[in-house]
Chain A
Amino acid sequence: MRDFAAVAIIIAVIIVAFAAALTDGYYMDIFILTCFYGTLAVAWNLMAGLTGLMSLGHALFVGIGAYSVAWGYTAHQWSPLVTWPIGIGLSIAVAIVIGLLCFRYGLKGYFFAIATLACGEIAFFAVSATTALGRSDGIILPLAKNPELHLQFIAKWPYGLMIGSFLTLTLLAGQFLMRSRIGYYWRSLRDNEDAAEALGVNAMAMKVLSFAISAGVASVCGAFYAHYVAFVDPRSVLGVDISVQLLVYAIVGGMGLLWGPLVGAAVLVPFGMFLRNFSFLQGSEVIFYAVLLIGLALVLPQGVSGWVVGRIGKAKAAAELPS
């Protein structure tokens, strides 16, 4: 039950942060981006932390979601009610195909990570060469006649509400999955695949399921991004940058807990933006960020969340011990 308590607290923090940012566009932007990366990072960790499948190709699914919306809207005036299911469905289908292929041939660890990275890069270059998708120029989403129906808002809070809710839902669903039979299967696969299979866990099906869920959530984020920014191009939604960012959030936040990477995103996204206030010296803010990243990766191998929970556990243990 303690895990649920932690998730409840995080959700409370999300709501408080949303309320605090309500009146200020800049804070709301930070909130939105933090939730965007946070949701992606949690989705990523559903695979990496729980099932032991590290993906470096999640940009692919963000891209599928974002391009489904951008292309559907600019080419056919399709509403989000149509484009979102297309994006999610396509992402899940692609994830199943990649998953079946990779797991059929037993790719694990680095090799799986690099295979997903290769898929992401192939998509990047394919889109860069496809005229219908705007090639490297990307697609601008113009203002619609009835903007609200196309999720275009002048105010920021509807976007904040949307992405905040996704994050909450993802956390709840993730927590529920973890506690379910599937979650135990996943963790058994992560810890010892051979043993799990010997006990009758269908490794293939379970891994593909984990990949598909994660990809589906990532494409929701991508679709949201297309509405929020109203511009998609290969570099911002398909680039290896996004995939690597997720890795960084997971490392800083910690992968042991479902919401660990969310903590990483919640620390690094605002921090990175905060540092940009000091960009008067060329590159100084990136250097600072890089040093912090190296430091955290070395000093807190379990990530911030692992460290905090570890401290709490110790404190509890100490309190319970009769001295």
Chain B
Amino acid sequence: MKRLIWGCLLPLVAMAIGAAGPAHAASELKIGVLVPLTGTSAADGTRLLNAHQLAAKQINDAGGIAGLGGAKINLVVADTQSKPEVARSETERLISREKVSVVLGAWASATTIPSVQVAERYRVPFVVTSAVTDAITEQSMQFVFRVSPKGSWAAKDVGAFIGDLRQHGVALDKVAIAYEDGPFGQTVSAGYRKELAAQSIKLVADESFRTGSADVSTQVAKIKASGADLVLIVAYIDDESVLVRSMAAQQYRPYILGYGGGHTHPTLLELGDLVEGAFGVVEWMPDLKNPAAKAFADAYKAAYGALPLSNSAQAFAATWVSALGADAAHSADPVAIRDALRQLKLKDGPATLLPNDALAFDESGQNHVSNVMSQVIDGKFVTVWPTNFAAQPFKPRK
């Protein structure tokens, strides 16, 4: 029977020994980073982590956080495995075991929501990097901040952009939506539907597909038959490539408008001519007319050999903003940092690389930031809208 007891107790004992880490140290600011390093979004997680680490390195190389007597940033990285339940318990670990002062993360909405709620219970600020679900900053939570825009804002920007295109004489009368029928696609496409109705733009086809479908020609045929001259695509890069190929195979060449960091992914450019002229609504672009954006893009390219994607910029901003919060608070105390983050209004510096005038959080913790439009011009993603951030004007179809 003794064995039995040991059999049950041993794992707990092992835990106690293994997990006991050092507590708060004055000479460093511990920031928890939740990223998916394994599972379905592993590639995205790696890019986010790169940006977090780049920001931390910049801050530490410049002498650390002045307000904390030059304390260095110590990123404590946790893998969410792209699973909500793992993200939640890793947040527990980061806060109660690693004693981090701020938590950043956690890529998708499904992994972010439970994590945010844990941080709220522990009264530790959580800076959301890229999750799009509107509700995250609508729960009257006191410790949540979001640098990325709400998902529904993309629809507003798309609506405005369509209006602009029309003013420039591009004939866009019928719009179709093609979305991936999962959390991401459903959220964004719901926003599109509402916004199109509000702007009385005619939605002529509304088609969905599952990720990993080898043949989507049924959906494409229906969209083609509807005569849509603009197709709003909400999908990850993998399925978008299948969709775009299928459209080309049916000799159907409408304007297409993709969504987010998944769309402005270099893999898409491998499709060459098929995506020439394709638009994308995206949270950030490396060629934004903004000094901080250029500095980040250059530093990232120097460090990792590739241009960053939009979500990397958000991760970079989130890391900087947390450091500046601690700097302003003169404290590593989570509540003090929360209060400082509330007051923060950044007009210049590395954290302001996102497309708005100043990085600041409203009382719900939301940063009011818009999206920009990219277009593939000569095989490259170029920012074309709004004009104050655009690198080039957009190119209408010949």
Contact present between A and B (CB < 8 A) = yes
B266 in contact (CB, < 8 A): no
Are B42 and A233 in contact (CB-based, < 8 A)? no
B69-95: which residues lie under 8 A (CB-CB) from chain A? 77-79, 81, 83-86, 88-90, 92-93, 95
Please pick, from B16, B46, B186, the residue contacting A137 in the complex, using a CB distance under 8 A: B186
State A281–B109 Cα separation when bound (angstroms): 24
State A217–B112 Cα separation when bound (angstroms): 29
A135 contacts which chain B residues (CB < 8 A)?
183, 186
Stretch of A21-29, A52-60, A175-183, A198-206 on the interface side: A21-29
Which residue of A is nearest B114, CB measured? Answer: A231
Encode A117-141 as 1/0 by CB contact (under 8 A) with B: 0000000000011000001111010
Are B1 and A229 in contact (CB-based, < 8 A)? no
Please pick, from A10, A25, A270, the residue contacting B122 in the complex, using a CB distance under 8 A: A25
Are B117 and A229 in contact (CB-based, < 8 A)? yes
Please pick, from A137, A142, A266, the residue contacting B8 in the complex, using a CB distance under 8 A: A266
B154 in contact (CB, < 8 A): no
B217-275: which residues lie under 8 A (CB-CB) from chain A? none
B93 contacts which chain A residues (CB < 8 A)?
26, 29, 273, 276-277
Q: A6-B4, A263-B8, A282-B46 are in contact. Are A273 and B81 (CB under 8 A)?
A: no
State A143–B12 Cα separation when bound (angstroms): 32
Are B110 and A276 in contact (CB-based, < 8 A)? no
B110 contacts which chain A residues (CB < 8 A)?
137-138, 233, 235-236
Q: A229-B88, A276-B93, A312-B3 are in contact. Are A270 and B183 (CB under 8 A)?
A: no
A244-288: which residues lie under 8 A (CB-CB) from chain B? 263, 266-267, 270-271, 273-274, 276-277, 279-280, 282-283, 285-286
B15 in contact (CB, < 8 A): yes
B187 in contact (CB, < 8 A): yes
B181 in contact (CB, < 8 A): yes
Q: A235-B110, A270-B12, A274-B18 are in contact. Are A279 and B77 (CB under 8 A)?
A: yes
A304 in contact (CB, < 8 A): yes
Are B183 and A136 in contact (CB-based, < 8 A)? yes
Are B78 and A279 in contact (CB-based, < 8 A)? yes
B186 contacts which chain A residues (CB < 8 A)?
135-137
Q: Interface size on B (CB < 8 Å)?
A: 50
Are A231 and B113 in contact (CB-based, < 8 A)? yes
Which residue of A is nearest B17, CB measured? Answer: A274
Are B89 and A33 in contact (CB-based, < 8 A)? yes
B88 contacts which chain A residues (CB < 8 A)?
229
B398 contacts which chain A residues (CB < 8 A)?
none
A10-24: which residues lie under 8 A (CB-CB) from chain B? 10, 13, 16-17, 20, 24
State A5–B14 Cα separation when bound (angstroms): 26
Encode A143-177 as 1/0 by CB contact (under 8 A) with B: 10000000000100000000000000000000000
A9 in contact (CB, < 8 A): yes
Name the distance in Å between B3's Cβ and chain A's nearest Cβ. Answer: 5
B96 in contact (CB, < 8 A): yes
Name the distance in Å between B243's Cβ and chain A's nearest Cβ. Answer: 19
Name the distance in Å between B82's Cβ and chain A's nearest Cβ. Answer: 9
Q: A137-B183, A137-B187 are in contact. Are A276 and B92 (CB under 8 A)?
A: no
B9 contacts which chain A residues (CB < 8 A)?
13, 16-17
Are B114 and A230 in contact (CB-based, < 8 A)? yes
State A26–B16 Cα separation when bound (angstroms): 10
B11 in contact (CB, < 8 A): yes
Please pick, from B11, B92, B114, B121, the residue contacting A270 in the complex, using a CB distance under 8 A: B11
Are A279 and B79 in contact (CB-based, < 8 A)? yes
B135 in contact (CB, < 8 A): yes
Which residue of B is nearest A283, CB measured? Answer: B38
A30 in contact (CB, < 8 A): yes
State A10–B9 Cα separation when bound (angstroms): 10
State A26–B95 Cα separation when bound (angstroms): 9
State A273–B110 Cα separation when bound (angstroms): 19
State A25–B96 Cα separation when bound (angstroms): 6
Are B14 and A308 in contact (CB-based, < 8 A)? no
B166 in contact (CB, < 8 A): no
State A135–B109 Cα separation when bound (angstroms): 13
A311 contacts which chain B residues (CB < 8 A)?
3
A13 contacts which chain B residues (CB < 8 A)?
5, 8-9
B95 contacts which chain A residues (CB < 8 A)?
25
B22 contacts which chain A residues (CB < 8 A)?
none
A6 contacts which chain B residues (CB < 8 A)?
1, 4
Are B15 and A279 in contact (CB-based, < 8 A)? no
State A168–B181 Cα separation when bound (angstroms): 41
B302 in contact (CB, < 8 A): no
B16 contacts which chain A residues (CB < 8 A)?
27
State A270–B114 Cα separation when bound (angstroms): 20
Which residue of A is nearest B37, CB measured? Answer: A282
B198 in contact (CB, < 8 A): no
B163 in contact (CB, < 8 A): no
A140 contacts which chain B residues (CB < 8 A)?
113, 117, 135, 139
A25 contacts which chain B residues (CB < 8 A)?
92, 95-96, 122
Which residue of A is nearest B82, CB measured? Answer: A235
Encode B113-124 as 1/0 by CB contact (under 8 A) with A: 110010001100
Query: 26 A-B contacts, Cβ less than 8 Å apart?
Result: A9-B4, A10-B4, A13-B9, A25-B92, A25-B96, A25-B122, A26-B93, A30-B89, A135-B186, A136-B181, A136-B186, A137-B109, A140-B113, A140-B117, A142-B139, A231-B114, A231-B117, A267-B7, A270-B14, A277-B93, A279-B77, A283-B37, A283-B38, A285-B79, A312-B3, A312-B4
A30-B89, A137-B186, A143-B139 given; 10 more Cβ-contact pairs under 8 Å: A6-B4, A26-B93, A26-B96, A33-B89, A136-B181, A136-B186, A140-B117, A274-B19, A282-B46, A312-B4
List the interface of chain A (C-beta within 8 A of B).
5-6, 9-10, 13, 16-17, 20, 24-27, 29-30, 33, 128-129, 135-138, 140, 142-143, 154, 229-231, 233, 235-236, 241, 263, 266-267, 270-271, 273-274, 276-277, 279-280, 282-283, 285-286, 304, 308, 311-312
